[in-house]
Amino acid sequence: MGSPLERRRRRRLRRIANGPLHRYLSRPFPKKTLDYRCVDYLALDLETTGLDPKRDQILSAGWVLIRGHRIDLGSARHRLIRCDGAIPADSAVIHQITDDEAAAGERLGRVMRELLDVLAGRVLIAHHAEIEIGFLDAACRELYGSGLLACTVDTEVLARRTFERRNIPFRPSELRLHALCARYNLPRYRAHNAFYDALAAAELFLAQVAHRDNGNGFCLGDLL
Partner 1 sequence: MDVELIEIQEFLANHPPFEQLPEAALEQIPRQLTVRYLRRGSAFPPADDQARHLYILRRGAVELRTEEGELAGKLAEGDLYSDACGGNSESRALTGQTVEDTLAYSLSCERFERLCTDHPELAEHFQDAPTKRLRKALDVLTEQTATSSGLMTVTAQDLIRRSPVIADPAISIREAAGIMSTERASALLLMEAGQLAGIITDRDLRNRCVAAGLSTDRPVKAIMTASISTISADTLGFEALLKMTRLNVHHLPVVEGEQVLGMLSTSDFTRFQSSSGVYIVSDVHKAKTVAELEAVSAKIPELQVQLINSGATGNHVGQAVSAITDAITLRLIALAEAELGPPPVPYAWLVGGSQARREQSSHSDQDNALLIADAMSKGDDDYFRQLAERVNDGLHACGYIYCPGEVMAKNPTWRQPLAVWQRYFENWIQRPEPKALMLASVFFDLRALHDPAGLYDGLHQQVLELSRDNRIFIAYMAANALKYRPPLGFFRNFVLIHGGDHDRSFDLKHRGTVPIIDLARAYALSAGLEPINTVERLEAAAATKALSQDGAANLIDAFELINTLRIRHQAEQLSKGEHADNFLAPERLSPLERGHLKDAFILINSMQETLGQRYQAGRFT
Judged by the rule CB under 8 A, the positions of this chain that interact with partner 1 are: 62, 69-74, 76-78, 184-187, 189-191, 193, 195-196, 202-203, 206-207, 210-211
Q: Which residues pair with 79 in a beta bridge?
A: 61
Please say which residue, 12 or 37, places its beta carbon nearer to partner 1.
37
40-48 and 58-67: which strand pairing? antiparallel
Backbone angles phi, psi at 120, to 5 degrees: -55, 130
Least Å from the CB of residue 47 to partner 1: 13
Least Å from the CB of residue 191 to partner 1: 6
Alpha-carbon distance of 224 to 217, in angstroms, equals 15
Least Å from the CB of residue 28 to partner 1: 26
Least Å from the CB of residue 21 to partner 1: 26
Please say which residue, 16 or 76, places its beta carbon nearer to partner 1.
76
* DSSP string across 95-132: H---HHHHHHSB-HHHHHHHHHHHHTTSEEEETTHHHH
Please say which residue, 69 or 128, places its beta carbon nearer to partner 1.
69
